[in-house]
Structure 1
Amino acid sequence: MTPSSPQFMQETMARAIIADDHPLFRAALKQALQQTLSTDIKEAASFEQLLELLQHEPHIELVLLDLSMPGNKGLAGLTSLRSRYPDILVVIVSANEQVSVIQQAMAYGASAYIPKSMPLAELQRAVHVVLAGDTWLPEHLLDTINQLPANPAQAFASRLEQLTPQQYRVLECLADGLLNKQIAYELNVQETTIKQHVSAILRKLDVLNRTQAGVLFKQMLSAGNETNAADV
């Protein structure tokens, strides 16, 4: 029996969330996944709803994420998920087929990138590959992506994964230009705690100061916004 056969994929066990703001597309994805995953599949129509579900569903193993859904910040949303829930596999399902965007998404920790133009049978195979512990990309784009020069974002992304969820939130505030006192108020902690987080962030990201950390993060946000614009 081969991994791509329907019978094989029906035996896969994993709890999943489909995060997409289009009800008809969610329904199609859910129908396809129900033939692959023998468990309940949750749905989220916005990034905020996705985060809320993850807070109340501690056993989720897989998220299918649309980069352009409401509340998402493109690739920054992906890194936010990777920071908060490093054990959850994130599969990007997007209408954007730009190879540079796909390369960035994989660099930021996606387990697979599935264009919405792909047949649902390909999605089933991709999910099976990811749950088996491997990454997946569209076969017709593999050679092109592999021939691209190394993405400088990959080094930053790997360092970003070292941040704790709280440190990641502090970094978001730094990028917004907030002072330590303002961040402490936003996160309801002591200012001394924020100072400790900032020091840890600078060390882990290997940057000189909070301004540089914020600029690098803003550049990532900018890439995410460009991704959203191209995904419409």
Structure 2
Amino acid sequence: MKCVIADDHPLFREALSMLVAGGDIAAEVANAENVAELHELVEKNGAPDLLLLDLHMPGASGFSALSWFVGNFPDKLVIVVSANTQPDTVRRAIDHGAAAFLSKSSDTGVMTQCIQQVLSGSRGMHPGLDISNTGASLKALDVAEALASLTPQQFRVASMLVEGLLNKKIAYELGVKEATIKAHMTEVFRKLGVQSRTQAVLAIGNLPVTQGAEAEATS
């Protein structure tokens, strides 16, 4: 089984890699410290059987990375592993397609058991965590569906757009011509059903992650 751990904290990635690569799970593990690296791994090696995803990774806007991966690879499994365990965040992650939600403070036994249960077919798991009764809005689900239709490069452009970067800067960061970025932007607007940069930012803004005190302190 192939697993990707997508998290920007090196020590946590290392600890989680040891957990997933050893014991009864024994997965082949690759690591990504941002969304761009996750896309590169998927483009090079194909989608992993299991993705362990941190919501607050660089390049992600709210639930955007989760929505993109789940929408493109619905037969693959995603477990969100986050310090942000707000009930609203847990519920919306499940609504956006996560098979389970784990707190970064969970002990290794809980993590191992949850991963094994997900691999055996269990869904909607959130051991030891509260979950909100209010799920993702229809508007947020529509935006998630639109994001899932973006190519990896279009997703990167959309993410940089949300960060406030202009076309010239995006082109420089991605190593392409500005005309290429304009073409990508046109497709991003079309797929999101918007007409401008501001409307695109507002649309993607429907996927925010509620920041709790614990997440703010550790993310």
Number of positions where the alignment pairs a residue of Structure 1 with one of Structure 2:
211
CA drift of 1:116 comes to 3.3
CA drift of 1:19 comes to 4.5
Q: Distance in 1 between matches of 2:79 and 2:126?
A: 12
Q: How do residues 6-17 of structure 1 correspond to structure 2 at under 5 angstroms?
A: 14-17=1-4
1:76 aligns with 2:64: no
Q: How do residues 197-212 of structure 1 correspond to structure 2 at under 5 angstroms?
A: 197-212=184-199
Q: Percent identity?
A: 33
The corresponding residue for 2:102 is 114
Match of 1:216 among 189, 194, 203: 203
Query: What is the RMSD of the two structures over their aligned residues, measured on CA atoms?
Result: 3.8
The corresponding residue for 1:9 is none
CA drift of 1:164 comes to 0.9
Could you tell me whether the CA contact under 8 Å between 1:167 and 1:197 is conserved in 2? yes
Per-residue CA deviation, residues 59-94 of structure 1 (Å, 9 max, x unaligned), is 5332323445xxx24963763366379435332122
Change (3 A) 1:30 1:205: same
Change (3 A) 1:186 1:225: farther
Could you tell me whether the CA contact under 8 Å between 2:81 and 2:102 is conserved in 1? yes
CA drift of 1:53 comes to 8.1
CA drift of 1:100 comes to 0.9
Long gaps (5+) in structure 1: 1-13
Structure whose alpha-carbon radius of gyration is higher: 1
Match of 1:34 among 22, 26, 29: 22
Higher-helix-fraction structure:
1
Long gaps (5+) in structure 2: none
Q: Distance in 1 between matches of 2:78 and 2:163?
A: 26
Per-residue CA deviation, residues 19-50 of structure 1 (Å, 9 max, x unaligned), is 55363784366336623323433456x43796
Q: Distance in 1 between matches of 2:37 and 2:179?
A: 31
Q: Distance in 2 between matches of 1:22 and 1:185?
A: 27
